Every structure is written in structure tokens, then in C-alpha cells.
Amino acid sequence: MKFIEDPRVKVSRRLWAISWIFYSVFLAFLMGLSYTMGTKPYIWGLPRWVAIGNIVVPVVFVLALIFVAEKLIPDLPLTDEERRGKGGKQ
């Protein structure tokens, strides 16, 4: 008898990889920005890298996350179709 894996497990593994890639790119971008931007005051007296890294970059990445969620994350049922079909409500 061959074990049949639930397709939701495969999707969840893919989403785990996507989330770590997204987070790694975000951190790499912030670290690169911190390294390249100067410390000259920019907005509200904050250094340039702090102002851009904590105000502008998160807005850009939240918009990118909306795109990623809409295009790469499928809508999965959270209930078991087999169990619900055989025994009625559960």
C-alpha cells in the first residue's frame, strides 16, 4: 500500500520556502541600505538609513507581499473533503 500525501502539505512546504525567501530578501535589502546610506539627518532628525529603512522600505515590502499573497498563495480548503462527505457534518 502506497502512502498518499495530502496535497496541502506540498503547498505548505512551498509557502514555507517562499516566506523565508521573502524575509531573507527583506533583511538583505535593509542591511544593504544600512551599509550604503549615510548618517546625515533626513526625516525628523533620524539618520537617512533609519528613516528610509523603517518608513519607506516596509511600505514597499508590504505592497510586494500583497502581490505575492495574491499570485503565489492558493486558496486551500481547511477541512477534509473525505471526512465531511461520508459522515455528514464534522
Q: How far apart are CA 74 and CA 52, in angstroms?
A: 32
Banded pLDDT at 7 (limits 50, 70, 90) = confident
Are 37 and 49 in contact by the 8 Å Cβ rule? The answer is yes
**Ranges of each domain in the chain:** 16-74
* pLDDT tens-digit readout, 21-31: 999 999 998 88
Quick one: pLDDT at residue 41?
78
Query: What pLDDT, in 10s, does the model give residues 42-75?
Result: 777 888 888 888 888 899 999 999 998 888 888 8
Quick check: 13 and 6 in contact, CB under 8 A?
no
- In this predicted model, what pLDDT tens digit does every residue of 10-21 receive, in sequence order? 888 888 999 999
Could you tell me the pLDDT band of residue 85, with boundaries at 50, 70 and 90? Answer: low
